[in-house]
Amino acid sequence: MKVKVFDESHEKDLEDVINKFILENEPEIIDIKFSTAISVFSEEQVYCFSALMVYR
């Protein structure tokens, strides 16, 4: 079993990198965990969209 962590600042980018990984590697996906975080820096909101994929 292996894990792969994906981390992007936009949800669409996260979808794109996960889909690209799946197309290129054809893993047997066991599970995917999704997480979202937000912080405020000065007057700007900073988002983090991440996923942990467990696969074979």
Write down the domain spans for the chain.
2-55
E strands, the chain, are 2-8, 29-41, 44-55
Query: In this structure, which topology does domain 2-55 adopt according to CATH?
Result: Dodecin subunit-like (3.30.1660)
pLDDT the model gives residue 34: 98
- Compute the distance between CA of residue 12 and CA of residue 20 in angstroms, rounded to an integer: 12
Residues of the chain with pLDDT under 50: none
pLDDT the model gives residue 24: 98
pLDDT the model gives residue 2: 98
pLDDT the model gives residue 42: 87
pLDDT the model gives residue 8: 97
33 bridge partner residues: 52
